[in-house]
Amino acid sequence: MKFLHQPSRFLFFTGKGGVGKTSIACATAMHLAETGKTVLLVSTDPASNIGQVFGVDIGNHIVPITAVARLSALEIDPEAAAGAYRERLISPVRGLLPDGVVKGIEESLSGACTTEIAAFDEFTTLLTDTALTSRFQHIIFDTAPTGHTIRLLQLPGAWSGFLEAGRGDASCLGPLAGLTKQRAQYRAAVEALADPQRTRLVLVARAQRGALREVARTRRELAALGLSRQYLVINGVLPASEAQEDALAFAIHRRDQEALAMIPETLKDLPRDEIGLMPFNLVGLEALRGLLTTPSPRPARRIEHPLERDLPSLATLVDDIAAGGRGLILLMGKGGVGKTTLAAAIAVALAARGLPVHLTTSDPAAHLVHTLDGASDELTVSCIDPHIETDRYRRHVLETKGAELDAEGRVLLEEDLRSPCTEEIAVFQAFSRVIREAHKSFLVMDTAPTGHTLLLLDAAGAYHREVARQQGSADRHATTPMMQLQDPQQTKVLLVTLAETTPVLETARLQRDLQRAGIKPWAWVINMSVAAKSPRSPLLQERARHEWREIEAATGHSARVAIVPFLEDEPIGRDPLLALCQASSATTHP
């Protein structure tokens, strides 16, 4: 593998969610450790699952992976980091200040901004604290999905510049209070990231046009940040030897090769590796060791159907949704599971029935326009663009709050609005504004990958708490965005997943998080199922055998589970999207 040749000390694996970053990062960490190197594997993903891959509990502290000598791991848990960060700031004044003042400080530190700052604080420590990491020859980062990673890597420069310019005003004093003494650490982090001798970026993608476009954009943005030493890994490529086995294998191979033939120009000059599609789930040491080697052919096996009941198709779910006449339809799940395609298919199917539909996304990496391909004439389509919303919010604050300030106060306000906190506030306001439409029509929302979505819902919860605190019992009829999300009469949450071990576990964890917030998911949708197509290819049959086990596990998490089969052709445009809603779930015995 080219990306493993003379590896630098810091290796970042990044790319669109669901492309296999975690598996490749874990396999790389094992490979380096088993060749005699001391390695620290770090996840900066709010939805980390490296503990699941190795079958151990890791958490927010460095622990050895006992089954692999010289390998240790750490999961930067944003919530745990935020809790420790808050306690570090509050504990010195607890007991010295009135309880009401302390409670106010705690409230100022309860939002998503604090969570991200705290996680960032730990991230930069790993890049700069030699006392903490000197025993490791390599530090491997399994980063969050692309949008979050870009933001994380931009923060060193953003926070350093913001702190150099001024202290900001009250809206950021709470979260920033613990950062003002660490400017040198942030500068050092920027230098480490930009040094090609110390840092190597491995861009991971699937052999899919959308994934390759996304990783091309990532390359440009990371290069602009000074991260110039980049490698490309195309993961999950179906071997040519499987293409002659059946129509499904042939279609998958054809789609892979067509996508690779049209690879964006900006990626063509990168050192490139291809990793074949594995016939097994990448969980456990044996599976990881096999990832970076050529798999041996496996004989075909009869796949027994394990389910005692048939599962509904996506068309059945659409029938049930349409019967409500209006409402908010939220598609959530791990990145790369096909939320954008399914959101577009549901929206097009509802609009084809003559129902009013608004299709929108809060995912900055989504490609709704490409997926719809002209099918937007029957519905309204929009995107909550973080850059546009942040600019709109800044202008609004300057025109309102800024109009009452003198020249010096306005300068301070402008500096405060340049802080990274501003984007979270602006995106949440746009989210709150658009979901009001669900009272009179259908609003189908393709959300961002799990971690970002949870931050968004955390902002909704913080807003809910603030409204309740300010209003008390004065207005029992006030409705906050969180109340709308919690009302099953107004909101249906569809959790989208794949029939693979990690996505199913991840979806179950997301469901638990939502339930703690008072939001009960309405259905699970298992997308792109190979098992539902009854393949004859030995490799695909082996994958199907693993899939049925995960499909059965999913039925234990939700009373309503639908299966969407893998389609030979990518569903782009009105008719293919409608066909996706009409495709059989193929749950009859193979």
Residue-wise pLDDT for 215-239, tens only, equals 898 888 888 777 788 999 999 899 8
Residue tagged active-site, from 502, 507, 537, 585 = 502
pLDDT at 365 over 60: no
What per-residue confidence (pLDDT) applies to 131?
Answer: 84
What per-residue confidence (pLDDT) applies to 126?
Answer: 87
- What is the length of the chain? 590
Domain ranges of the chain: 2-286, 314-385+423-469+477-582
Residue tagged active-site, from 18, 335, 451, 461 = 18
Residue tagged active-site, from 15, 17, 20, 327 = 20
Rounded CA separation 16/22 (Å): 11
What per-residue confidence (pLDDT) applies to 234?
Answer: 96
Tell me if residue 45 is catalytic: yes
Please report which confidence band the pLDDT of residue 501 belongs to, taking 50, 70 and 90 as the band edges. Answer: confident
Please report which confidence band the pLDDT of residue 536 belongs to, taking 50, 70 and 90 as the band edges. Answer: confident
Please report which confidence band the pLDDT of residue 304 belongs to, taking 50, 70 and 90 as the band edges. Answer: low
**Contact assessment for residue 334 and residue 47, using Cβ atoms and an 8 Å cutoff:** yes
Can you say how many angstroms the Cα of residue 124 is from the centroid of all Cα atoms in its chain?
Answer: 21
CA diameter of the chain:
77
Same fold, 2-286 and 314-385+423-469+477-582: yes
Can you say how many angstroms the Cα of residue 302 is from the centroid of all Cα atoms in its chain?
Answer: 35
Averaged pLDDT for residues 543-572? 89
**Contact assessment for residue 8 and residue 197, using Cβ atoms and an 8 Å cutoff:** yes
**Angle between helix 501-516 and 538-555 (nearest 10):** 20
Instruction: Tell me the CATH architecture of domain 2-286.
Output: 3-Layer(aba) Sandwich (3.40)
Tell me if residue 472 is catalytic: no
Please report which confidence band the pLDDT of residue 21 belongs to, taking 50, 70 and 90 as the band edges. Answer: confident
Q: Round the average pLDDT of the chain to a whole number and report it.
A: 80
**Contact assessment for residue 242 and residue 562, using Cβ atoms and an 8 Å cutoff:** no
Handedness of CA 23, 24, 28, 29 (dihedral sign): negative
Residue tagged active-site, from 22, 43, 108, 218 = 22
Fold of 314-385+423-469+477-582: Rossmann fold (3.40.50)
Backbone angles phi, psi at 547, to 5 degrees: -60, -45
pLDDT at 166 over 70: no
* Predicted confidence (pLDDT) per residue in 246-268, tens digit: 888 999 999 899 999 999 999 99
Please report which confidence band the pLDDT of residue 466 belongs to, taking 50, 70 and 90 as the band edges. Answer: low
Comparing C-alpha atoms, which of 256, 263, 150 is closest to residue 213?
Answer: 263
Residue tagged active-site, from 14, 16, 21, 339 = 21
Rounded CA separation 176/167 (Å): 8
Rounded CA separation 101/82 (Å): 20
Rounded CA separation 240/236 (Å): 12
**Per-residue tokens: 419:** 């802080």
pTM over 0.85: no
Tell me if residue 18 is catalytic: yes
Tell me if residue 20 is catalytic: yes
Region of poorest pLDDT, from 356-370, 460-474, 491-505, 506-520: 460-474
Handedness of CA 383, 388, 392, 397 (dihedral sign): positive
Tell me if residue 21 is catalytic: yes
10 Å Cβ neighbour count for 308? 7
Comparing C-alpha atoms, which of 206, 234, 202, 199 is closest to residue 218?
Answer: 202
pLDDT at 308 over 60: no
Residue tagged active-site, from 14, 23, 128, 199 = 23
pLDDT at 496 over 80: yes
